Chains A and B, each alone.
Chain A
Amino acid sequence: MEYGIVAALLVVSTLLGLVWKSRQGNVVAQSGSTISLDFREAGKTTILQFTTPMCGPCAQLKPRLEKIANFRTDVAYRDIDAVEHLDLANRLSIRSTPTTLIVSPDGEIRARINGIAPAETFINAIEGTIPTRSVTATEETVI
Chain B
Amino acid sequence: MNKPTGIDPRGPRFGASITAVLLLVDVFISIPLATAPIDTEAPGYVLLVVLSAIFLWGAVGGIQQSPYALFFAKFIRPRLKAPTFVESPAGPTFSQAVGFIVTITGVLLYLAGIPAAVPVAAAFAFVAAFLNSVFGYCLGCEIYLLFAKRGITFGLEKPGTPRTTRVGSDHNI
Residues A1-29 near B (CB distance < 8 A): 1-2, 5-6, 9-10, 12-14, 16-18, 20-21
Residues A80-111 near B (CB distance < 8 A): 82-83, 86, 89-90, 96-97
**A105 CA / B123 CA spacing, docked (Å):** 49
Known: A9-B123, A9-B127. A59 touches B149 (CB 8 A): no
Chain B: number of interface residues, binned into ranges? 35 or more
Chain A: number of interface residues, binned into ranges? 20 to 34
Chain A residues lying within 8 Å of B24, measured Cβ to Cβ, are 6, 9-10
Chain B residues lying within 8 Å of A90, measured Cβ to Cβ, are 149
- Are A13 and B131 in contact, with the CB atoms below 8 A? yes
A60 at interface, CB cutoff 8 A: yes
Shortest A94–chain B CB gap in Å is: 9
Known: A5-B31, A13-B127. A55 touches B149 (CB 8 A): no
Can you spell out 28 A-B residue pairs with CB atoms less than 8 angstroms apart?
A1-B31, A5-B27, A9-B24, A9-B123, A9-B127, A13-B134, A17-B131, A17-B135, A20-B137, A52-B148, A52-B164, A53-B161, A53-B164, A54-B87, A54-B90, A54-B144, A54-B148, A56-B9, A56-B164, A59-B85, A59-B87, A59-B164, A59-B165, A60-B166, A63-B166, A82-B149, A86-B149, A86-B150
Residues A37-73 near B (CB distance < 8 A): 51-60, 62-63
> What is the interface of chain A mostly: helix, strand, loop, or mixed?
helix
Closest to A51 in B: B164
**A48 CA / B1 CA spacing, docked (Å):** 30
> What is the interface of chain B mostly: helix, strand, loop, or mixed?
helix
Select which of A12, A58, A86, A89 is within 8 A of B127 by beta carbon. A12
Chain B residues lying within 8 Å of A9, measured Cβ to Cβ, are 24, 27, 123, 126-127
Closest to A18 in B: B135
Shortest B131–chain A CB gap in Å is: 5
Q: Mark B22-48, 1 if CB is under 8 A from A, else 0.
A: 001001100110000000000000000
Closest to B134 in A: A17
- Are A56 and B87 in contact, with the CB atoms below 8 A? yes
- Are A54 and B27 in contact, with the CB atoms below 8 A? no
Most-contacted residue by chain B among A6, A10, A53, A56 (CB, 10 A): A56
- Are A17 and B145 in contact, with the CB atoms below 8 A? no
**A97 CA / B149 CA spacing, docked (Å):** 11
Shortest B122–chain A CB gap in Å is: 9
